[in-house]
Amino acid sequence: MRERGFTLLEVLVATTLMAVAVVGLLGSLRTSLSNAARLTDYDRAALLARRQMDELLAARGLPKGIPIEGAYAPEVTGGVKAGWRARVMPFESGSPLGAPPAPGTPILLRIELEIWWAAGAGTKTMRIAAYRRAQATAEDVLLFPQATAEVWR
């Protein structure tokens, strides 16, 4: 009577196949975890940007044409060094093209916000913009030609 069992060659082939499958599975798992960590950073930045933009939209005495900035506390960002930069510029008025608005006329203000955070050896950024209605001031009249020609730097 012959004993049934696996030969050494069959065991080696099965072990090799299992090792290839496990290595592929672990590689996919590592990629998924790194993507999840990256998306967590972007989600946190989007939440911070939304909160900061709401604060900027609610604030009425913001300086126009001058960059303003701040930093976030580490407990808000999960220990990541992060901050923001914003600028408020006159965007559009009811005046004819190229003409600055007269003081007291309705205009649109563009609020440009950039959120930055430390990522590895460098920094990552996210930029958003929003618009708010306002009354033109004498300061806006001076800034208006510059605002229409400038691009966020």
DSSP result, 11-35: HHHHHHHHHHHHHHHHHHHHHHHHH
Asked whether residue 23 is assigned to any structural domain, the reply reads yes
What pLDDT does 124 receive? 92
Three-state SS for 122? Answer: strand
- By residue range, what is the domain housing residue 72? 8-149
pLDDT tier for residue 32 given thresholds of 50, 70 and 90: confident
Mean pLDDT score, 22-51: 87
**Gap between the Cα atoms of 65 and 4, Å rounded:** 85
Residue 2 lies in a domain: no
CATH of the domain at 94: 3.30.1300.30
Strands in 106-119's sheet, in edge-to-edge order, are 68-71, 82-93, 106-119, 122-135
In a domain, 57, yes or no: yes
Does residue 150 register a pLDDT over 80?
no
**Mean pLDDT, residues 81-100 taken together:** 81
pLDDT at residue 21 tops 70? yes
Given pLDDT bands bounded at 50, 70 and 90, which one contains residue 140? Answer: confident
Segments in the chain forming alpha helices (H):
8-58, 74-77, 138-149
Q: Phi and psi (nearest 5°) for 135?
A: -100, 135
pLDDT at 17: 94
Q: How far is CA 23 from the centre of its chain?
A: 34
